[in-house]
Structure 1
């Protein structure tokens, strides 16, 4: 039995800045030693870049902890300390990139043309790109300093943008009578107050935008004015980010041109699978017409139900379909399909569903997940769970997996996988093992209930767990290539592929568990609310699963159209090439024009909003890269159809996938070539729309 690695210690707020100072000092010491002992004549990978890679590996655990706390920190003191620490690291990175001596050594290693393994060659290539992006070979010394200063300023703006998003706590006050259709359990966890009205005392309820409030009101509120008010107020909630975002775009544009790139998109895509903006434009144009046609057909169905519903209530309605009605009428259409997501959610309590998902991965990949008790100093919040992960076949320790699944104040607003410690090969040849987190923001339950997952949230959880498994199984030499550190336009593919398993009846049955079976108090309450019904079954009934699977593609056209809108918006604002382009751009108008044109709904009353400032992606690594979600979805459909569709649980197929893809992480110099080799042919970029449009995917194995 291999020993289990010790859990990393969570830093306290007052430790964050000193720890970052020590990390930077360690790296500076290594750089100084290299500069004092190596010349361009003696420069090799082993004398210049291996020591740098080793210290990068060594400090990454504490560095990962500091960066994790920006997402999961329990208090503002920690957030503020992170901001200070991040500025220290940015300044150090800027100083490192300004070193002509070190640049000359790296260039000398490149010119030596040594025979290097794939990861070493990729490390060298990336280091040269760092110096190229700092202006070496293009800019004068004064210009480089100006460029790096603006780069630091952009980073500060991005931090402000994301901090505003994380700390947003708005919502809408509604009279309780306006919330007809909202379950009592949801209302119970929202703030309430009683204020005097002319007719007496009326209870008012504050529906927050976060913690599931927006989703609940848009999906369940019967009053169309309630849905409209919630949507429009949410649409305007982050006006403060509007000017910040515009300043970021302007500075990114000028920075790219300063380095000699035609646009920011051209600069970013150089290191992606796509390579050029033209590739992205071609990919999006290939799928645009089919997605628009599919979305138009879905809106027509929604509008038909809306007209019938509103006329039955005696309302006069226009022919346009407003955006705030989409989710409500999607739910009504699903009810006609005998799909009741509220009922279905009863069979997917968050905690038991997450644990059951571990059983799926254990079976497919030969893993074991053991819940462990952590000391107080090893967790950043009391709700966090942690598991040690083992390879059943070899008894080898694999790493640690954390669950941090519920929304809370100041936590990252969204769902993601965050790695504290990446895996790597130590100088003595032994392994350092990863620690990775499912950091989600699923709505919190009331004190006498548990958190229940809608099916789309089950998919989200499985997707993020897929990222976590990828990080756990990766085996690379260097941390910068560990796990999901692939080119952005491939990194989502493995987890997106896994979403197919959330539509398999046997998977849905196996991970289901009616919430009343978890706690006798839940069953007592359910019986009091349903006195004439028999107790619910433990597992989700076959008919619920069959209807869900039968109509799995309903609403997917509009879902992917929203991704297409964001992808085109992202590409256009980052493809500006002249000051005139920048001066004439109205970002707000572009966003709502694209939504109106592509999604087929009416956004005319939304155009004073800042919807494009309400998600973090374009200021957190997905700039000129949002197309990656559609690209990865296409590759994922291709991989599933080619390798897994005929037998989704075949262990040898999973072993091959683990060996040929997951373990390699991002350490292959040609990731598109790696995918091509795995498939036996070039991947099909139209696989997503072909599946959505009902075209059969049948690919010959290479």
Structure 2
């Protein structure tokens, strides 16, 4: 309680620059226009026909712009009329692609979701055609030769990054090879794009519900039982909704139920996506070989910080080995709990057991009851507290405005401005609760990317947070577990990364950075929800509106986290190795079997006759990249030490502004290593990460 007075005084300071409902979107947008900025709400198509018509129109304009670029006289063409013009020509198409990607994951009308999926595929195929246009490559090559010969000035800064990246991408597309090979690769890319779209759609459209009597769900919360009750008096567990799945895996004391739910989760879309995944992996391998790479991992990782598949594999395997003693010790403790509860001294922890016994360990050894903890984390209170933290350290102001269109009734839209200058920075939507046909996890989706337009105005970004928090029951508010609080802080970090951009080019704006760095800033923000001073600002029991989360409880939560972090990171490395190994394997290997084998080696044997990989959405987009979560965690821990050692720790505004300026604003406009060093003020180190997971 000694922290209450300074906590309250600082909280008042936060609220002073917080949400202001008296200002409308029109007022904020008008001021942005006065400052040479564009802040606009997206226009969402309302019929399948409109979805198609938009793509028809944007492709006509884009093709005309590309034809003009390709048709220039090489002797008079410039960097601006080629490389910069390519970024501008692609921008409208990318904006439509982003919008449709969100719509296919969130719209309630199945026919619009399907239309968006089809047009995303169409745009992807068009993108491959553009990538392999010989005339565009030739004009860029000729301008490049003039730059290298000194006939044209060498680009600097962000322009140099754009120049290097476009020429690198042409090489990676195979323009150093013969035309016949490039044609083969292009065809394979189109086939792969269609398979990836089908794979994603099968995941999004999957819906698996299992019903149980109350006694077979012993241990789950009363609120879960109440919300899941069917008209027949049984209880529906939505296996495809992550909070439902986790509620059973962590709380249900009936092992048979946990096993059944676990097996059902790891069998989702197995029949449809298992064969599709094998085809995807084979096509990727063929493409990599045609392009001169040893495997898909080497190809995919080349532009990232790790740079090679071997480096990424070495990281994942080395961390898995280093965790072995801690992992063994943690599993031994879980087995003791299991033996005591079941009366079977030789009981073995399986995949469907570890989360349950980790939860029991938290309660029995560390007096941490996750159900009791939820009362300190009402969703709306957490979001308000999170807003205050981000507004303070980044010097921002959030204002709720009325959306022009709502794809769901409880959708929220917020405008973001610089609190000192009043500059419009962007907007974000909040889509918080699950529903049929919706993306079933938690993610930030770009809608409009930031870009300096040809007329000198800057288009400010718009993004959406798509979440699946459990709604409240009756008069009770929606409550979060602590892991979900981590998740919302993490995802909101992505939103700020996108919104605070000042990159000139859309390909570098926001979170368009190296994929094994993109998670680092967001993962760093997960540390905020473990800090006493931060938590005491919003972790307040909703039942009395006064009781702050006890500091003793928080200290015990930290101990419990360290006591289970070995299992957590072994699971992460199991997934990383599964992903990497299927993408370095011989052509024809079964990806599902590789995934199950890697997880059995590093964690636990998956349920028999299941294929987790078939429901693993990261295998499109993050393919050969899951190692990046662990890689980024190491960077995040190092970056977090700058806040920890600052005068005001996690609420230090000076460090927050350095993060905004050196990481968030620049996006991918310079190498990630440079941005990290600029923020840290030194070379990066793994020491903080290893200490955080108990490895000396």
> Would you say same fold, with TM above 0.5?
yes
Shift in CA distance, 148/191, structure 1 to aligned 2, threshold 3 Å: farther
Contact 2:327 2:570 in 1 (8 A): yes
Deviation at residue 105 of structure 1 after TM alignment = 0.6
Partner of 1:81: 115
Q: Distance in 2 between matches of 1:43 and 1:614?
A: 48
Q: Distance in 1 between matches of 2:612 and 2:87?
A: 41
Partner of 2:434: 407
Q: Distance in 2 between matches of 1:123 and 1:26?
A: 23
Contact 2:471 2:479 in 1 (8 A): no
Q: 2:592 aligns with which of 588, 591, 596?
A: 588
1:218 aligns with 2:246: no
Report 1:180-579 matches (<5 A): 180-190=218-228, 192=230, 194=232, 203-211=233-241, 212-240=243-271, 241-311=273-343, 316=344, 318-336=346-364, 337-375=366-404, 377=405, 379-516=406-543, 537-576=546-585
Give secondary structure in 2 for the equivalent of 1:420: strand
Contact 1:138 1:260 in 2 (8 A): no
Q: Distance in 2 between matches of 1:352 and 1:643?
A: 24
TM-score using structure 2 length: 0.89
Deviation at residue 364 of structure 1 after TM alignment = 1.1
Shift in CA distance, 429/536, structure 1 to aligned 2, threshold 3 Å: closer
Write out per-residue CA displacement over residues 397-419 of structure 1, whole angstroms, 9 at most, x where no aligned residue. Answer: 11112111211111112111111
Q: Distance in 2 between matches of 1:425 and 1:559?
A: 42
Structure 2 unaligned segments of length 5 or more: list them.
Answer: 1-27, 33-38, 148-152
1:640 aligns with 2:675: no
Deviation at residue 439 of structure 1 after TM alignment = 1.1
Contact 2:453 2:459 in 1 (8 A): yes
Partner of 2:57: 22
Q: Distance in 1 between matches of 2:378 and 2:75?
A: 63
Q: Distance in 2 between matches of 1:49 and 1:230?
A: 52
Deviation at residue 685 of structure 1 after TM alignment = 3.8
Partner of 1:675: 676
Q: Distance in 1 between matches of 2:410 and 2:140?
A: 46
Report 1:650-661 matches (<5 A): 650-661=652-663
Deviation at residue 255 of structure 1 after TM alignment = 1.0
Q: Distance in 2 between matches of 1:381 and 1:204?
A: 28
**Pairwise CA RMSD of aligned residues?**
2.1
Q: Distance in 2 between matches of 1:411 and 1:117?
A: 43
Q: Distance in 2 between matches of 1:207 and 1:18?
A: 40
Contact 1:16 1:85 in 2 (8 A): yes
Deviation at residue 551 of structure 1 after TM alignment = 3.3
Partner of 1:521: none
Q: Distance in 2 between matches of 1:389 and 1:366?
A: 10
Shift in CA distance, 650/642, structure 1 to aligned 2, threshold 3 Å: closer
Partner of 1:101: 135
Shift in CA distance, 43/644, structure 1 to aligned 2, threshold 3 Å: farther
1:121 aligns with 2:155: no
Q: Distance in 1 between matches of 2:498 and 2:173?
A: 30
Structure 1 unaligned segments of length 5 or more: list them.
Answer: 195-202, 517-534, 696-702
Give secondary structure in 2 for the equivalent of 1:388: strand
Partner of 2:13: none
Q: Distance in 2 between matches of 1:410 and 1:70?
A: 9
Deviation at residue 25 of structure 1 after TM alignment = 1.1
Deviation at residue 107 of structure 1 after TM alignment = 1.0
Write out per-residue CA displacement over residues 107-148 of structure 1, whole angstroms, 9 at most, x where no aligned residue. Answer: 11222223213322222333334433433221334x433321
Contact 2:285 2:295 in 1 (8 A): yes
Shift in CA distance, 263/391, structure 1 to aligned 2, threshold 3 Å: same
Contact 2:502 2:666 in 1 (8 A): yes
Shift in CA distance, 244/182, structure 1 to aligned 2, threshold 3 Å: same
Write out per-residue CA displacement over residues 191-210 of structure 1, whole angstroms, 9 at most, x where no aligned residue. Answer: 6254xxxxxxxx43332203
1:68 aligns with 2:72: no
Which piece of structure 1 moves more, 227-236 or 484-493?
227-236
Q: Distance in 1 between matches of 2:368 and 2:198?
A: 41
Q: Distance in 1 between matches of 2:455 and 2:279?
A: 48
TM-score using structure 1 length: 0.89
Q: Distance in 1 between matches of 2:329 and 2:73?
A: 66
Shift in CA distance, 546/8, structure 1 to aligned 2, threshold 3 Å: same
Deviation at residue 643 of structure 1 after TM alignment = 4.9
Q: Distance in 2 between matches of 1:63 and 1:567?
A: 28
